[in-house]
Structure 1
């Protein structure tokens, strides 16, 4: 059969089949049916034509023909079938035709045969029969003739059918790719939108391919299922192959290549590697990957400016040091360490929009608050009100330290599901869920070091310019209607607050920064807390302080506090381990048992009450007073009780931040204030005072609620227990800038980084999406943390051997460094004296102008800003003098 005739057969068979008469109907004579033909005697003279609907098979005949076939087969056996076939062949030969001529005429090659209803019916019986697949398979691969041919397989129509199958499969696959391809298109302009980029995952696109390209999918699946790696499903491989085929069919069908191009560019693939992968049809070109970064940055800045119109927003920034490499050193072309600053804007769509009047209310409350600062009595009242909530959390932590011990084995404890073991309700926990996620937008990193007041003034203008506040109209709207919350470490916030003070007499609200409030980041506050504990309880290796724990647990490089590196992470782990070891030993003393497993016999309610006793007797200021006022105080036990109280307070704060309990964070502020005052950390003491002053004196209630709920911690996933402070989020962004998405090369300078960094949140989403879809998200992101139990057990043995927790009246502690001062109590006493409050009040008691003079040209404003920043030192002294 000619190939064009085979193609006609395929096309006819794929069309809808109309009705045709059944075999029992009366049919007209073939000669009458063909009477309108010009040359009825010559089929070969008929011109090529497409069959009309009346000439096609009727699907209604399918069941009838199958029933007829089954009925006939039931009346035949091997001999009768052979006789019938032989007689039929004899009849064909007697009529001058053979089987090829018969089949050719029946299958749409003879017009009279096409028009004859009986022949059409028999053709339907063949083409829709259940025997046809068997017939075709036998033609392709005939059974072996074991008797006559020595077991050899007849040749059959193997070569013909395989060539035909390739042709049919090729045609089907081409049509499937043409239909599937447009659904895998990611047009330019939409390929920088996170929602469009991640709207279809691998599973969704796989189902789409199975539906729109079933032939190609089945061919690949059946072929790859015989792989030696039978335990691995080939779905993702097939998905990738079909995506590559669609991309080769048309470069517009490019969803996966675009996603992979962004992913691989920021996973370290070189330009040469990109060219290779692009030639293979796996990714877009390296040039496209570079160009899309600029478009992503532009889209990100458009998104943030649009959302800033709809929702309130917060901004944080911090310094970043980036090394720039050169490959050919010249006088003007040298390696250098670039000093700049990175900023991030945070937006929560669930935050209530601040009213237009809050800006004016803030100015009025500030004016009143300057003349009505907090007093020592106010702070002590806040501390008394907060203590019950802090104490409740400390009791729960002590209880969990028991329940989580291997000796107690909570999983097999009789009351393990008792409500008495449940944690207390949070004071004011932020809601979780997808609708409460925080969105973050990185701004273009600026080559301005965060060193001087002038630098910070320039940075404020730089960030506002990037956010679209370039015209006088936009600045007036910002200064008179909006509120901007600036978050940063102590240095950043202190510099901004000083600028706010120095500009009190400037011409308008924008220049005076009246629209701004400044809040310290809680990560750096935690670091200051941990460093204070380190300084207070370091001691020596011969004592029972942190130095002894470092030696016992082989902890390296922890004897000196550090800002960079893993010091903070490591010291926090030590705080948890040492606190747990002490508390478990105190459980034994308070409960008067020899082993923690003996407490399994107690009820859940008894354990909870006993946890309260542990806190009361071994981790509270009351216990310290009891020891101090006794006739023969045990100074060694006193040191342990003081450590327990302070360490548990740190853990309370740490868990409050992780769980988003902003009420507990606020409850810890008076304790933090006393610690910083007693530990001579005046800067953070002032920061805590400023925050309390704002919450209780200078901010309208609406703004206070916004600060508590949206300006301390953020959650990017919406999951519980993964809240982080805003300055920690900024530090993670700086890590991405310096390490994760670092760009290297001779042309990497500040302009490129400014273009790249706003795209990082989008890049991060794409990378997480790809790794989640292909099952590689966990690698490198989640590490198995070694159990603390061995460390805790070793510490407990040391404490038990020295009978550290056994009360011994009159016991004397080692003098010198091994005797820690009660920093919190000293801080409270010092704060009550009023000297620190007096200096703080004096430093902030100033009158602010209320003028609104906006008749200044941009050039004059620029000159004024330059002169003003230079005048800061002239009016207020140098930065060193001001710090002093």
Structure 2
């Protein structure tokens, strides 16, 4: 049948064939293995080489455009009716020659060996496969359009197309997963390192999956992306990781991360079995083994870092309940008492010079003969007070600026430099280079209950850190200093050990290498408790008890050492302080409301803040009132002034601790000594005296600098305002052991905890990483603090109503229980009278040996030392004295 009348030749056909011929010649000149599987309209080269596996080649876009224009030109030359008539003639001719459409298409598309290399068939095949009509044709095969006279869609090739699409996608997905899988591998050498575990964030992992498995990623995006953000990406990556893990357990980066995370988020072993069967985590056995490997790696790491950088150590008691599910004579539950310790690596600290241990012995010996005197302490107090007073004035100014009534956001002079905080006295640096590294040691079942226990604990910690034999420890004690930090009870017992062992044979036995430092967090607790004791009063007065009742604050009447008592008391002290200071602003500035002060320049507000401190929060103001005739004295106003002075110093100390101003903390020392001496807290009075004696008399400059700059505060984030005392960091670690990352089950014993706890800093980092990446970090880690404005204004209203802050000559405190003692003044008087300091000097006046008497057999692991009969007697006497005195319990934060 002649078809020449049904089709007009395109004017571009000849040029297109020439272009295609040149391209195909170039491809075939290499090899048929590199040729495109979409042939072009040329005469095939003679004797072309063949290969069963052809590599898919791409055709340049300009050539594809030629194909598309060629078909478009033909379509534009015919009407739909003409195209229809031509189709009927083609089908009629096919029937005439014994063909149908399946046979025809199969022959054209590589189903007939004779048709494969035919130039005309090649050309038409390539035009078809490069046409813009092909996607529409495939869509119509898959889902034919309904006819205008029928509501039923034709069956079309839906079943075949679906089956073909599934098979194609499966093949592509397998190839993609085989490429992606090895990139999700985390080796056994890397899965113990926190840096390697968290080296890639999830955005990078998602991009990795998208790049290596684009088809699978597109499918998951189509079903997961609801247009509500990018959360679907995390789910898609998790699904792909699970699929990849089922192909090979080596494709396990996500599974290892989630296994460590789930282990310490309370998932049971049975839960692990389920998650592992789902392909979401590694097995429970692998996780337990991995945690032990991480723990071992952490111990090796801390020992290595201790050789590179200066360090210090803290420890505190810990109580852990051990459960059993079947009670027997030899299998009973218990409430275990043990001790947990932490080593802090200070990478930014300069190394102490060689020979520092010997130099410390010499300066200590000299310092014993040159104790601080009352005159020395008074001089220190006088020199430091102006700096403290400046910080007090800034707090008073902030109370004004932060009040809603003042509305600082719209204050005209809010950008004035006069409103900035005073310059720090000695500010610790911040940044990544100044992050303190924490390493927990293995928790031990040695209770911190006696002097002998503390002696065993020293041996235990040093043994865990690699000093095993007598010879190693003797060498260690002659060349190294250990800075021990802890609460008052821990440091006090270590100090008594240091004294009692002064005549032992070696530097190690005598603890010559030890520098003892109390924790500032427990000191702040003692300060707050002394304010509570001093100003509690009764419900009828205007002391703290009145404030607790007015604000309905429960559980604050009696001082406690556990639970949230300190937190609640701290908040209450701040609110009462702010209420009093706001009222004093009205009195000193002679205004009716704080809003009236908005018109005053910033410089004037700064001067007024200092005036508030001098007139309403200073010993000078108390002296002025006391100098009046008895008939003109206002005892209630005097007590308000004394409260302001004492509580502002408490707040100044707290601000210095949080901001890292160790210079201000040091400036507070003589004033803290006055307070603790006056309040009868002899334990902390001795601790402050010992610290001052060390800083100014007994420690070499390098040791004193290291103590103040690196042993009082740590910063585990490197961010400004995130400093915390060492003993608070230890309490946080104990909280992590007992609560956050607690171990559960009937087989949890001290031996397991000792192996586990060194891994906690890695577990903490992995946990924070997972929760940050999945957007769950905030939940449970913070809580919204309710605004205190209503409480403050309620207190201020009560004070204003009674005229408490206005001077009234002859006003008396009628109930003796309402009268607060002046601890600061009483402490200064005691100190100048020699009360307490003489006993302290006497207790420190002892001789220490400087000999090194070494036994011959020193290369064996050191056994715990048994105290001599004399030492045992001294221990018992000291412990009996402690039992009769008011002790201090370490608060475990929950």
Question: TM-score scaled by structure 2?
Answer: 0.91
Please say if residues 619 and 642 of structure 1, whose CA atoms lie closer than 8 Å, have aligned partners that are also in contact. yes
Aligned counterpart in structure 2 of residue 283 of structure 1, from 258, 281, 284: 281
Partner of 2:789: 789
Alpha-carbon deviation of 1:780? 1.2
> More displaced, 323-332 or 94-103?
94-103
Q: Does 1:258 align with 2:248?
A: no
Partner residue of 1:131? 133
Conserved in 2, the CA contact under 8 Å of 1:58 and 1:124?
no
* Deviation of 1:875 (Å): 5.3
Query: Which SS does the other structure have where 1:557 is aligned?
Result: coil
- Matching of residue 471 in structure 1 with residue 469 in structure 2: yes
Asked whether the 8 Å contact 1:587–1:596 carries over to 2, the reply is yes
Partner of residue 694, structure 1 = 694
> Cα distance, 1:356 vs. partner?
2.1
2-side partners of 1:518 and 1:56: how far apart?
76
SS at structure 1 position matched to 2:173: helix
Partner of 1:619: 617
Report which stretch shifted further, 618-627 or 198-207: 198-207
Kindly tell me: are residues 58 and 623 of structure 1, through their superposed partners in 2, closer, same or farther at Cα, counting changes over 3 Å?
closer
Q: Secondary structure at the match of 2:642?
A: helix
Equivalent of residue 81 in structure 2, options 74, 79, 82: 79
State how 1:379-528 maps to structure 2 within 5 Å.
Answer: 379-528=377-526
Residue equivalent to 1:142: 144
Could you report, residue by residue, the CA deviation over 1:729-783 in whole angstroms, capped at 9, with x for unpaired residues?
1111111222222223222211111112112211111111111111111111111
**Aligned residue number for residue 651 of structure 1:** 651
On the 8 A contact 1:146/1:152 being kept in 2, the answer is no
Distance 1:584 1:256, change over 3 A: same
Q: Does 1:310 align with 2:312?
A: no
Structure 1, unaligned stretches of length 5 or more? 1-13, 38-47
Secondary structure at 1:505 match in 2? coil
Is the alpha carbon distance of 1:875 and 1:225 closer, same or farther for their aligned partners in structure 2, counting shifts above 3 Å?
closer
How far apart are the structure 2 equivalents of 1:216 and 1:363?
A: 70
Which digits, 9 at most, give the CA deviation of each residue in 1:694-713, with x for residues without a partner? Answer: 11121121222211111111
Alignment partner, residue 731 of structure 2: 731
- Give the CA deviation at 1:51: 6.0
Q: Tell me the secondary structure at the aligned position of residue 572 of structure 2.
A: helix
Superimposed CA distance per residue, residues 295-346 of structure 1 (whole angstroms, 9 cap, x where no aligned partner)? 1211111111111111111100011111122222233333321111111111
Most deviating of 507-516 and 313-322: 507-516
The answer for the alignment partner of 1:193 in structure 2 is: 193
The 1:361–1:273 alpha-carbon spacing in structure 2 relative to 1, beyond 3 Å, is: same
The answer on whether the counterparts of 1:62 and 1:124 sit within 8 Å (CA) in structure 2 is no
Q: Please, which moves more after superposition, 514-523 or 872-881?
A: 872-881
Equivalent position of 1:218 in the other structure: 218
Corresponding position of 2:810: 810
Contact 2:459 2:864 survives alignment (8 Å): no
Aligned to 1:751: 751
1:63 positional shift: 3.3
Show the counterpart of 2:12. none
- The alpha-carbon distance between structure 1 residues 747 and 21, as it changes in their structure 2 partners (threshold 3 A), is closer
Contact 1:873 1:879 in 2 (8 A): no
Rounded to whole Å, the distance in 2 between the matches of 1:220 and 1:589 is 69
- Structure 1, 229-238 or 677-686: larger mean CA deviation: 229-238
Is residue 836 of structure 1 aligned with residue 836 of structure 2? Answer: yes
1:543 match: 541
Tell me whether 1:601 sits opposite 2:599 in the alignment.
yes
Deviation at 1:89, TM superposition (A): 3.8
Distance in 2 (CA, whole Å) between partners of 1:134 and 1:64 is 20
Where 2:342 maps in the other structure, the secondary structure is strand
| Partner Cα distance (1:850, 1:642) in 2 | 49
Residue in 2 that maps onto 1:10: none
Q: Distance in 2 between matches of 1:859 and 1:336?
A: 38
Query: After the TM superposition, which of the residue ranges 424-433 and 652-661 deviates more from structure 2?
Result: 424-433
For residue 364 of structure 1, report the CA deviation from its aligned partner: 2.1
**2:722 pairs with 1:722:** yes
- Measure how far apart 1:294 and its partner are: 1.3
Shift of 1:169: 0.3
User: Contact 1:402/1:596 (CA < 8 Å) preserved in 2?
Assistant: yes
For 1:430 and 1:358, the matched residues in 2 are separated by: 24
Seen in structure 2, the aligned counterparts of structure 1 residues 771 and 468 have a Cα distance that, compared at 3 Å, is: same
Does the Cα contact within 8 Å between 1:543 and 1:814 map onto a contact in 2? no
TM-score (normalizing by structure 1): 0.92
Matched with 2:572 is: 574
Shift of 1:82: 2.7
Alpha-carbon distance, 1:835 to partner:
3.4
In the alignment, what sits opposite 1:660? 660
Cα distance 1:57–1:851, how it changes in 2: closer, same or farther (>3 A)? closer
With 856-865 and 118-127 compared, the bigger mean Cα shift is at 856-865
Distance 1:548 1:488, change over 3 A: same
- The answer to whether the aligner puts 1:709 opposite 2:709 as a matched pair is yes
SS of the residue corresponding to residue 339 of structure 2 reads strand
The equivalent residue for 2:559 is 561
* TM-superposed deviation, 1:96: 4.5
CA distance in 2, matches of 1:687, 1:680: 13
Indicate conservation of the 8 Å contact 1:17/1:59, yes or no: no
Answer yes or no: is the 8 Å Cα contact 1:876–1:882 preserved in 2. no
Q: Is the 8 A contact 1:274 1:286 kept in 2?
A: yes
Aligned-pair distance for 1:623?
Answer: 0.5
Shifted more, 387-396 versus 91-100: the winner is: 91-100
Q: Which residue of 2 aligns with 1:243?
A: 241
User: CA separation in 1, counterparts of 2:137 and 2:352?
Assistant: 78
* Residue 101 of structure 1, aligned match among 100, 103, 110: 103
CA contact (8 A) 1:322 1:337 kept: yes
1:90 Cα deviation from its structure 2 partner: 4.5
Cα deviation code 1:438-467 (max 9, x no counterpart): 111111111111111110000000000011
Deviations 1:486-519 (A, max 9, x none): 0001110011111111112222222211111000
Distance 1:750 1:864, change over 3 A: closer
Change (3 A) 1:51 1:667: closer
Structure 1 residues 703 and 51: CA distance shift in structure 2, 3 A: closer
Shift of 1:249: 1.2
Per-residue CA distance 1:804-831 (angstroms, 9 max, x = gap): 0000122112341211111101101111
What is the match of residue 878 of structure 2? 879
Residues 50-61 of structure 1 mapped to structure 2, 5 A cutoff: 50=52, 58-59=59-60, 61=63
CA contact (8 A) 1:19 1:59 kept: no
Which residue does 2:19 correspond to in 1?
A: none
Distance in 2, matches of 1:641 and 1:634, equals: 11
Q: Is the deviation greater in 823-832 or in 870-879?
A: 870-879
CA shift digits 1:36-92 (9 cap, x unpaired): 99xxxxxxxxxx962667x97855743332232233233232133234434444454
CA distance in 1, matches of 2:474, 2:460: 17
Deviates more, 1:591-600 or 1:196-205: 196-205
Secondary structure (helix, strand or coil) at the match of 2:485 reads: strand
| Structure 2: segments with no counterpart, 5+ residues | 1-31, 886-894
How big is each residue's C-alpha offset from its partner over 1:841-866, in whole Å with a ceiling of 9 and x where there is no partner?
22112232222233343599957821
How much has 1:224 moved relative to structure 2?
2.7
Residues 1:122 and 2:120 aligned together? no
For 1:57 and 1:460, the matched residues in 2 are separated by 74
CA shift in 2, pair 1:736/1:555, >3 Å: same
Q: Could you tell me how far apart the structure 2 residues matched to 1:33 and 1:313 are?
A: 81
1:656, distance to aligned residue in structure 2 (A): 0.7
**2-side partners of 1:64 and 1:211: how far apart?**
31
State the alpha-carbon separation in 2 of the partners of residues 834 and 389 from structure 1.
27
Deviation at 1:175, TM superposition (A): 1.0
Taking structure 1 as reference, are residues 15 and 695 closer, same or farther at Cα in structure 2, changes over 3 Å only?
A: farther
For residues 444 and 51 of structure 1, do their structure 2 counterparts lie closer, same or farther at Cα, with a shift above 3 Å needed?
A: closer
> Does the C-alpha gap of structure 1 residues 700 and 20 become closer, same or farther in structure 2, counting only changes over 3 Å?
same
Other-structure match for 1:5: none
SS in 1 for 2:866: helix
Residue equivalent to 1:857: 857
> C-alpha displacement at 1:684, in angstroms?
0.8
Please tell me whether the aligned partners of residues 324 and 332 of structure 2 are also in contact (alpha carbons under 8 angstroms). Answer: yes
Q: SS at 1:487's partner residue?
A: strand
What number of residue pairs does the alignment pair up?
849
Distance 1:630 1:324, change over 3 A: same
Residue 119 of structure 1: CA displacement?
3.5
